Amino acid sequence: MVEQNTRLPARRLWPDPWSVGAVLIAAAVLMPIASVLWLALNPAENVWPHLLNTTLPRYLGNTGVLMAGVAGLSAAMGTGAAWMVAMYRFPLSRWLDWLLLLPLAIPAYVGAYALVDFLEYAGPVQTGLRGLMGWQSARDYWFPEIRSRGAAILVLSAALYPYVYLLARTAFREQSGGAYEVARALGAGPWGLFTRVGLPLARPAIAAGAAIVMMETVNDFGVVDYFAVQTLTAGIFSVWLESGNAGGAAQIAMVILAMILALVALEKVSRRNLRFHNIARHHRPLNPVRVTGAAGWAMTALCALPVGVGFVLPVGVLASHAFGAGGAWIDPGLLRALWNTLTVGGLAALGTVTAALFLVYGVRLTGRMLPKLLLPVTTIGYAAPGAVLGVGLLIPMAAADNALADAVEGALGVDIGLVMTGSAFAIIYAYGVRFFAIAQGAADAAMGRIAPSLPMAARSLGRSARGTLGAVYLPLIRPTVGTALLLVFVDCVKELPATLLLRPFNFNTLATRVYEKASLENLGDAAPAALLVSAVGLIAVAFLARANR
């Protein structure tokens, strides 16, 4: 009788390097979130009762109003513009189809500085009104308060509506023309087509876009700080940097995380029982209706309005300041900020995309349960605002830095200083965690499009796992990898809250230089850096428009 060999293969007993690497990458991405939770639950000084009785209700109220207002206005602008460019042909509609994406290139805080400069007492609007009407001072007339919560909602909506527009436009164009023909035959007019056919079918896409808008609204610091709106993100800066209470900042950060997770869960639950299918045997694309005359030009004006507020106005105001002060372009501080931005943004993009490729490939290669479970969780970093990541990174990293410096000095007698928090390492790490979801999603989608037979053939011909990645996967997904590198780099260039919290002393990026100069009401020196940030964003918008034609 032959004894049966019950020993498991070595691969089952010992984790392979790809599994270990995937788990370590996932742990590195999730560490700041876990750190925030630990700090919030174990503060050195429990200020939670004080926060509940004083500032937290105000922070929550302002954040809730801001999220609701920005989401509602962005959804209205994005959905309305998407419906018009998808369903109708009117003057300049083909140009507006991609011009409506341009506000994505302008960070919201840049739009805030431009709007205030344009509408303030010394700005061209009020100066022109006083000259036209003969008014002598502000007491002679009424003008809306510029630095207010309402203005913050307007600025954020003008910067963020393209998220809704892009998803809604795609949803409208993927709908069958047959449904609209039937609705017209039943007597539905333009408004009935929108409310009874188009809007219900596009609701999942609009809800997803509005959820992204609300996440970005919670993440914002530049706009709310400039307009003096006390939100939860502004509260983190206030409690930590002004009061010196890291535990209180972590507790506010935990509130933000809870709100974001509840928002994501609510958005998924709201779409759980909604299923829309194209039941026609032959899908008929939409046939846009041509609109001419006054109605056509009215549509042109409506679609051009958000582009004007979100892109033309900021760029025009900044250009007038930038080209009026030529010396600002060769300022050593601007050149250092540009170099720092290119360095940390490039390293963060390269490291993030490389780690995402390793993680996705490792999960697909090993098939082990733990990496599979961790893969979707790593996307939580994109939902976590930069200020939250700053809290979760700086405190444990500073403790590790001090411990390392003390150990090295005790062993070798050499003071190495703060290796991580004293350099740009913390910023690069935060960027990687914040935008890991972009790289991971791109890598997962690209590898999923490759037929399994190709890597199987390579392995059968003697290629190793690493050789298969280099010879099969990377050549086929190179365009997607390039796009992911670009998108992560652009987001790194625009990121402000995490950079403000984690940058070492006397270290500026373009985003922090814009913030510092504009906070001092020196828009002339801030304008060149702001235009450079916007120029980088325009490159990404151009690629995005090309990919969605």
Report the Cα 150 to chain-centroid distance in Å: 22
| pLDDT at position 312 | 94
Asked whether residue 275 carries a pLDDT value surpassing 80, the answer given is: no
Residue carrying structure tokens 């590195």: 28
* Residue 141 tokens, joined: 């007339």
pLDDT digits (tens, 9 = 90+) for 108-162: 999 999 999 999 888 899 889 888 888 888 888 888 888 899 999 999 999 999 9
pLDDT digits (tens, 9 = 90+) for 220-273: 889 999 998 999 888 888 887 777 777 788 888 888 888 877 777 776 666 555
Question: Hey, what amino acid is at 64?
Answer: G
Mean predicted confidence (pLDDT) in 382-408: 82
Residue 253's closest CA among 503, 488, 43? 43
Mean predicted confidence (pLDDT) in 192-219: 84
What distance in Å separates the CA atoms of residue 534 and residue 109, rounded to the nearest whole number? 11
Lowest mean pLDDT among 214-223, 464-473, 493-502, 514-523: 464-473
What distance in Å separates the CA atoms of residue 251 and residue 231, rounded to the nearest whole number? 14
Q: HSE-up of 136 (CA within 13 Å, CB side)? A: 0
Residue 212's closest CA among 383, 336, 41? 383
| pLDDT at position 3 | 43
Residue count of the chain: 549
Asked whether residue 177 carries a pLDDT value surpassing 60, the answer given is: yes
Which runs of consecutive H residues, i.e. helices, occur in 495-522?
497-502, 510-519
Residue 227's closest CA among 112, 119, 121? 112
* Residue 213 tokens, joined: 């808008």
pLDDT-derived band of residue 283, with 50, 70 and 90 as boundaries?
low
| pLDDT at position 39 | 81
502 φ, ψ (degrees, to nearest 5): -105, -10
Sign of the four-CA dihedral 165, 171, 175, 179? negative
pTM: 0.84
| Residue 492 and residue 430 in contact, taking contact as beta carbons nearer than 8 Å | no
What distance in Å separates the CA atoms of residue 461 and residue 478, rounded to the nearest whole number? 23
What distance in Å separates the CA atoms of residue 489 and residue 236, rounded to the nearest whole number? 26
The DSSP secondary structure of 200-228, one letter per residue, reads HHHHHHHHHHHHHHHHHHHH--HHHHHTT
> For the packed helices 474-494 and 425-434, what is the interaxial angle rounded to 10 degrees?
110
Question: Hey, what amino acid is at 381?
Answer: G
Residue carrying structure tokens 């507790």: 251
| pLDDT at position 348 | 94
Domains of the chain: 16-46+323-549 (1.10.3720.10), 47-112+152-272+287-314 (1.10.3720.10)
Q: Is 183 left (phi over 0), alpha (psi -120 to 50) or beta?
A: alpha
What distance in Å separates the CA atoms of residue 530 and residue 468, rounded to the nearest whole number? 43
Lowest mean pLDDT among 122-131, 476-485, 523-532: 476-485
415 burial via Cβ count (<10 Å: 0-12, 13-18, 19+): exposed
